[in-house]
Chains A and B, each alone.
Chain A
Amino acid sequence: DQQVKQNSPSLSVQEGRISILNCDYTNSMFDYFLWYKKYPAEGPTFLISISSIKDKNEDGRFTVFLNKSAKHLSLHIVPSQPGDSAVYFCAASGTRAQKLVFGQGTRLTINP
Chain B
Amino acid sequence: DIQMTQSPPVLSASVGDRVTLSCKASQNINKNLDWYQQKHGEAPKLLIYYTNNLQTGIPSRFSGSGSGTDYTLTISSLQPEDVATYYCYQYNSGPWTFGGGTKLELK
Our verdict on whether A and B bind, yes or no, reads no
